[in-house]
Amino acid sequence: MRSLGLIWLSLRLGVLNALQYRADFFIQLFQSLVGLVTALAAVALVFGQTDELGGWSRDELIALVGVFLLVGGLINVVIRPSMEKLMEGVRLGTLDFTLTKPADAQLLVSVRQVEVWRLIDVALGTVVIVIGIARLGEQVGPERAVAFGLVLVAGVAIIYSFLLILSTLAFWLVRLENILVIFGSMYEAGRWPVGLYPPWLRVALTVVVPVAFAITVPVETLVGRLEPMTLVTTVGLALAFLVGSRWFWKFGLRHYTGASA
């Protein structure tokens, strides 16, 4: 219970912090719109030459763009900024302050920083998803909606764990400030259905950088392509990732504080 209260308070502080910069709203709006237009223009270009891409229709791909934006927004609101702040804290030594507090360090660092205007991406993404689904004429009943919600949460949990692992590497590789760029680059590959890629790349996007679970799987759920096994795998993987990343975080802390050589 106390943890929830701390999360709430920390997020509230982060939002207050971010709201200081009103100009950022317009900058983010511009960037999000440009991002949206770019993604849709690429889809239009491709579908100007063909009717289907690897078994996916144009409207399914529009829904994919929507999920791409939505998930991207969710990750960029709290998770990514907090991980960046964590790595900065390692570099500058301000992580020491966090470690002397009587609260779980992973909790504190994970909700440290908020980029509130990234919610624009969440909003835009939702709108695009709705448009895509409507154009498809798909009926999204309560079952599918719940499955979508579940897979979405699981996907975000997997990404969070993955980013935590990357950021924990900063304890050893202090100079790798741009390590999160790896994720950003691989995330770009999620603009298109993961099934398109050759097996070796598909493995990379599923196992090494779990982008597939964050984007392709939720879209599959929405448009009715989901196989039940995939749902189970995704949720199971999310739990495994959460446990694994916490273990790695504690391992990293022990190294940082000199417990292991």
Partner 1 sequence: MTLRLGRLPAVYAAKFRAEIALQVAYRGALVIWLLGLLIEPIVYLVVWTTVARGQGGQVGGFAAGDFAAYFTILMIVNQLTFTWHFHFFEWRVRNGFFSPMLLRPVHPIHNDVAENLTFKMLTFTVVGPVALFLLATFGATLHPEPWHLIAFVPTLVLAMVLRFLLEWTLALAAFWITRTVALNQAYYVAVLFLSGQVAPLSLFPPAVQAVASVLPFRWMVAFPVETVLGRLAPGEVLAGFGAQLGWIIVSLVLMRVIWRAGIRRYSAVGA
Partner 2 sequence: MTLSATRPSIRVTDLRKTYQVPEREGGLRAAAGSILRRTSRSVPAVAGISFEVEPGEIVGFLGPNGAGKTTTLKMLSGLLYPTSGEATALGHVPWRREPDFLRRMTLIMGQRNQLAWDIPVVDSFELNRAIYGVPRDEYAERLKELVELLELGDLVRKPVRNLSLGERMKCEVAGSLLHRPEVLFLDEPTIGLDVTMQRRIRAFIAEYNARTGATTLLTSHYMADVEALCRRVIVIHHGVLLYDGDLAGLVERFSPRKTISIDLEAGQKPPDAGWLAELAGGPDAVVQHSAERLTLRVLRSETAAVTTRLLATLSVRDLVVEEPPIDEVIDLVFAAGPGSDVESERAGATR
Is residue 118 a contact point for partner 1 (CB under 8 A)? no
Q: What is each CA distance from 18 to 25, 180, 241, in whole angstroms?
A: 10, 21, 30
Q: What is the DSSP code string of 238-261?
A: HHHHHHHHHHHHHHHHHHHTTS--
Tell me: does residue 42 bind partner 1 (CB under 8 A): yes
| Whole-angstrom distance, CA of residue 128 vs CA of residue 65 | 7
Strands 56-57 and 52-53: antiparallel
Q: Indicate the residue type of 27.
A: I
92 counts as binding partner 2 under rule CB under 8 A = yes
Pattern 153-182, binding to partner 1, x per CB under 8 A?
A: --------------------x-xxxxx-xx
Structure tokens, 241: 């990732």
User: CA 7 → CA 21, 74, 107, 143, 156, distances in Å?
Assistant: 22, 16, 7, 30, 17
C-alpha to C-alpha distance for 127 and 130, rounded to whole angstroms: 5
| Residue 92 within binding range of partner 1, rule CB under 8 A | no
Q: In the set 1, 45, 259, 261, which binds partner 1 (CB under 8 A)? A: 45
Q: How far apart are CA 129 and CA 123, in angstroms?
A: 10
Q: Lay out the site mask for partner 2 across 7-36 (x = CB under 8 A, - = otherwise).
A: --xx--x--xx--xx---------------
State the minimum distance, in angstroms, from the CB of residue 12 to partner 2. Answer: 9
Q: Which residue has the tokens 């999920």?
A: 67
Residue 16 interacts with which of partner 1, partner 2, none, CB < 5 to 8 Å by class: partner 2
Which residues inside 199-228 make contact with partner 1, applying CB under 8 A?
201
Residues 51-70 as x/- pattern, contact with partner 1 by CB under 8 A: -xxx----------------
- Residues binding partner 1: number (CB under 8 A): 37
State how far the Cα of 236 lies from the Cα of 111, in Å rounded to an integer: 24
Distance of closest approach, residue 108 Cβ to partner 2, in angstroms: 8
Kindly tell me which of 17 and 38 has the beta carbon lying closer to partner 2: 17
Point out which residues bind partner 2 (CB under 8 A). 2, 5-6, 9-10, 13, 16-17, 20-21, 92-94, 96-97, 99-103, 108, 254, 257-259, 261
